[in-house]
Amino acid sequence: MSRWEPGARERLVVAAVDLFTEQGYDATTVAQIAERAGVTKSTFFRHFPDKRELLVAGQETLSRLLTEGIAEAPGDASPLEAVAAGLERASTAMGQATRELAPRLKAAIAASAELQERDTLKTVSLAAAMTAALVARGVPDPIAALAGELGVLAFKRGYAEWAEGDRGDRGAEGERGAEDDGGAEQELAGYVLAALDELRAASASLG
Amino acid sequence: MSRWEPGARERLVVAAVDLFTEQGYDATTVAQIAERAGVTKSTFFRHFPDKRELLVAGQETLSRLLTEGIAEAPGDASPLEAVAAGLERASTAMGQATRELAPRLKAAIAASAELQERDTLKTVSLAAAMTAALVARGVPDPIAALAGELGVLAFKRGYAEWAEGDRGDRGAEGERGAEDDGGAEQELAGYVLAALDELRAASASLG
């Protein structure tokens, strides 16, 4: 996506997550990340303000994709159908590289209280983004807020299941075909939309 | 509630919020808070580990009350009825002092990025506490997660409306009778349970 150096952004993310996992988040410097990725520190700072933001850089992209998907859903789509459109767009954009990174990212986050807080704040801001996109479609506030929360729950649950790769056969395929994102992209969307369906069904049992 | 010095805890909270509002969160020291509250620094540290935790000290109490209310709801209560029982118990425990503090607390939080993050993390942990209490009652995971989110949304929405005191007549009454918490306690629970009803109704319109 970078206009300056093709692939640098992705290499920086992979290098950072590897270093965080190997030696811890606090002990890792921007200089080390840049060196591991084979770029200069200046290149690092053209992509990220600091090492913490590197890990959550995907958030803005994710918010934008969710918002666009909701905004562009058919005019007669229900609130949850619009949420599903947003989730599908965002999930489809997350390819196999993200899946291979997911377990390492999870380990780095588990080892750092600061990253845990950042990760939690991220999910709250995704809910707010979806709620705002629904309000912009004319969905009344309490329904929009609820649908936004359901969307985030669905994304978290679907992503966790997908990242764990509990469908062994597809995981193995993914490892062999990391260059080809097609299958894995569809797969994340499938997990997330299944989780949304499950939550929709659960909402009938709240009593 | 303190076993050491009656009223010290409450005085520290009021003093801190006033100082945060007057001179900003960063510029306020523990020594200043203790002095304003008329206690020693040692007394401060018997109640709170630091000034940030002071502002969110109510969180643990709130989590406990929500959890107890959910655990002690009748065995045949639906997930949302159990959530309502938790919300009612927690709301009833928050008296008039909390309401008078609320606008000042809101101003202090609005002025500090650190406090905003802390406040966001607090709501996430309340949702997790309610979800765990529901799972302990045997509510299946996706339903429990959804009901926990609804509970937090209801609490946030009801609290915000109550704190704004948009029912002018009751607000005025409250100012005159700050020593008598009865009316105001009932009132918060009323706002929160009304918000939960509204969200329950909204869940039928998700599509």
Inter-chain residue contact A206 with B147, CB threshold 8 Å:
yes
Query: Given this model, what pLDDT does residue B146 score?
Result: 94
Query: Given this model, what pLDDT does residue B69 score?
Result: 96
Alpha helices (H) in B72-95, listed in sequence order: 79-93
Q: Which of residues 54-73 of A touch B (CB under 8 A)?
A: none
- Closest-CA residue of B relative to A83 is B206
Inter-chain residue contact B149 with A147, CB threshold 8 Å:
no
Please give the Cα distance from A153 to A142 (Å, whole number): 17
Instruction: Give, rounded to a whole angstrom, the gap between the first and last alpha carbons of chain B.
Output: 47
Q: Is residue A39 a contact partner of residue A11, using CB atoms and an 8 Å limit? A: yes
Query: pLDDT band at A69, cuts 50/70/90?
Result: very high
Using the Cβ of B151 and the Cβ atoms of chain A, whether some distance falls under 8 Å is answered with no
Inter-chain residue contact B206 with A147, CB threshold 8 Å:
yes
Interface contacts A/B by beta carbons within 8 Å: 82
Q: From the CA of B53, how many Å to the nearest CA of chain A?
A: 15
Inter-chain residue contact B203 with A146, CB threshold 8 Å:
yes
| B149: chain A residues, CB-CB within 8 Å | 149-150, 153
Please give the Cα distance from A179 to A174 (Å, whole number): 9
Rounded to 5 degrees, what are φ and ψ at B148? -65, -40
Query: Given this model, what pLDDT does residue B175 score?
Result: 42
* Nearest-by-Cβ selection for B146 from A78, A123, A206: A206
Question: What average pLDDT does chain B have?
Answer: 82
Predicted confidence (pLDDT) at residue A104 exceeds the cutoff of 50: yes
Please give the Cα distance from B37 to A10 (Å, whole number): 53
> Which of B177, B206, B182, B203 lies closest to B80 in space, CA to CA?
B203
| B203: chain A residues, CB-CB within 8 Å | 146, 203, 206
Please give the Cα distance from B5 to B65 (Å, whole number): 23
* Region class of B24: left (phi > 0), else alpha (psi between -120 and 50), else beta: left
The amino acid that residue B175 corresponds to is: E
Query: pLDDT band at B121, cuts 50/70/90?
Result: confident
Q: Which value does ipTM take for this structure?
A: 0.73
For the ranges A32-46, A188-202, B26-40, B179-193, which has the lowest average pLDDT? B179-193
User: Which contacts qualify for B43-52: CB closer than 8 Å, 24 or more apart?
Assistant: B43/B4, B43/B5, B43/B8, B43/B12, B44/B12, B46/B4, B47/B2, B47/B8, B47/B9, B47/B12, B48/B12, B51/B16, B51/B25, B52/B114, B52/B115, B52/B118
CA B199 centroid distance within chain: 19
Using the Cβ of A81 and the Cβ atoms of chain B, whether some distance falls under 8 Å is answered with yes
Please give the Cα distance from B34 to B19 (Å, whole number): 11
Inter-chain residue contact A207 with B79, CB threshold 8 Å:
yes
